[in-house]
C-alpha cells in the first residue's frame, strides 16, 4: 500500500510503500516518552520504498535491548516521523499518525505490553465527545 505524509508544519514530507498487515503498537517506555503518549503506532517501510523530502533532526537513543535507534523528527515543529537503525538504516518505522492514510492503518499487533498503561485496554469506558466540549 502506498502512503504519504509528513510533519505538522509541512517542512518534511514522505512517500512510502508499506504492508498494512505490519502495523503495530509499541508500549515500551521509550515510545511513551518520545511520543508524549501512552504508546506509539508504527508501520515499517524498507529503505528502497521510502522517499523523504526535507531534513529531519536525528536523536540517537539506545533501547533497553541495546539497539541504537535514530529517532527522526521535524526540527521546526517537533513532529516525530520515524525511527531506524543508527548505523545501517534498512527499515524505517514510520509514525502512523503522520500518514494521511492513518485511518486504514489498523494495528495488527502490540509489543512491550509489560510496560503498557493499565487504562489503555479500557478506553471504551471513558466518556466520548465528537470534539472538545465547550
Which residues is 99 bridged to in the sheet?
Answer: 5
Which of 47, 55, 105, 112 lies closest to 81 in space, CA to CA?
A: 55
Would you say residue 106 has pLDDT above 80? yes
Q: Are 19 and 86 in contact (CB under 8 A)?
A: no
Listed by start position, the domains of the chain span: 2-117
Q: Which CATH architecture has domain 2-117?
A: Beta Complex (2.170)
Task: Tell me the per-residue pLDDT of 72-87, one tens digit each, with 9 for 90 and over.
Answer: 999 999 999 999 999 9
In the prediction, which pLDDT does 134 show?
74
Stated as kind and residue range, the H or E segment containing 94 is strand 91-95
User: Looking at residue 47, what is its pLDDT?
Assistant: 97
Residue 19 has pLDDT above 80, yes or no: yes
What contacts 82, CB < 8 A, 6 or more positions away? 14, 72, 92, 93, 94, 95
pLDDT at 24: 97
Give the span between the Cα atoms of 30 and 28, in whole angstroms. 5
- Looking only at Cα atoms, what is the longest distance across the chain? 49
Amino acid at each position: 500500500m502506498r502512503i504519504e505524509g509528513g510533519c505538522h508544519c509541512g517542512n518534511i514530507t514522505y512517500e512510502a510503500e508499506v504492508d498494512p498487515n505490519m502495523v503495530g503498537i509499541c508500549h515500551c517506555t521509550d515510545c511513551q516518552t518520545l511520543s508524549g503518549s501512552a504508546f506509539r503506532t508504527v508501520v515499517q517501510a524498507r529503505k528502497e520504498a521510502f522517499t523523504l523530502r526535507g531534513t529531519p533532526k536525528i536523536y540517537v537513543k539506545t533501547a533497553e535491548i541495546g539497539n541504537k535507534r535514530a529517532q527522526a523528527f521535524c526540527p521546526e515543529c517537533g513532529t516525530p516521523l520515524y525511527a531506524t537503525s543508527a548505523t545501517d538504516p534498512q527499515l524505517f518505522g514510520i509514525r502512523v499518525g503522520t500518514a494521511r492514510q492513518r485511518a486504514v492503518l489498523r494495528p495488527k499487533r502490540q509489543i512491550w505490553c509489560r510496560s503498557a498503561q493499565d487504562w489503555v485496554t479500557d478506553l471504551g469506558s471513558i466518556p466520548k465527545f465528537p470534539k472538545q466540549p465547550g
